[in-house]
Amino acid sequence: MLKGLIGKKIGMTQIFDEQGVAQPVTIIEAGPCFVTQVRTPEKDGYAAIQLGFGEVHPKRLTAGELGHLNARGLAPMKFLREFRSKETANVGDKVTVEAFSVGERVDVVGTSKGKGFAGGVKRYHFAGGKKTHGQSDRHRAPGSRSSGTTPGRVYKGSRGAGHMGTDRVTVQALKVVMIDPERNLIGVKGAVPGGKGGLVLIKEARKQ
């Protein structure tokens, strides 16, 4: 069975374990997903399974997306994502939260919240300048960026102010603490990237 799901972050809550200790839990509405394509090494050069999630009105899709799904006799789906897997699957197979079990470890991939333009202190945790000796405007400044004559410029990739957030982030080895097949919900211990309603991918953990 494929160990992968596409879902939507619902939000965070807490549940209590057998000892009565509160655990921070993220609730994700995951699936049901449908296999929309199977890629093989012989035909495509690699093994993967494409899943679809979130039925929508056909007008919400492009002609290419709609044709891709119609050719396979599938309903229009908003999200299509590939999962690298050597598992066998057939187009149209249904994948639900029951693919995972409580106590299992999973990796969750999402898009971090966008913060817009941020300074170096917020973006990279720079220390800032000294708060004494008359430095009234250097408290959150980055300081020297380079030297004058050599190299006489700022190296590419140097940390500094700039756009922050909206990055693809993977949180590894989160523990599954709750599964509700009737409502297609899965709960993982800890936080996952993105805001409420954000798209997330749930995969089998690469590191246990």
Bridge partners of 81, per DSSP, are 51
Task: Determine the residue type at 8.
Answer: K
Cis before 151? omega within 30? yes
Percent of the chain with pLDDT over 90: 82
Residue 112 has a pLDDT of 96
In the numeric block, which tokens belong to residue 72?
């396979």
User: What count of other Cβ atoms lies within 10 Å of the Cβ of residue 10?
Assistant: 16
Residue 18 has a pLDDT of 85
For 4-115+168-204, give the CATH class. Answer: mainly beta
Residue 200 has a pLDDT of 97
Residue 198's alpha-carbon distances to 95, 118, 187, in angstroms, are: 20, 22, 15
* pLDDT 10s digits, 50-80: 999 999 999 999 999 999 999 999 999 999 9
Bridge partners of 49, per DSSP, are 38, 83
* pLDDT 10s digits, 81-127: 999 988 888 999 999 999 999 999 999 999 999 999 999 999 999 99
Cβ contact 177:189 at 8 Å: yes
Match 């897997």 to its residue by tokens. Answer: 85
Q: What is this structure's pTM? A: 0.87
Q: Which residues contact 15 (CB under 8 A, 6 or more apart)?
A: 22, 23, 25, 177, 178, 187
**Every domain of the chain and the residues it spans:** 4-115+168-204, 117-144+156-164
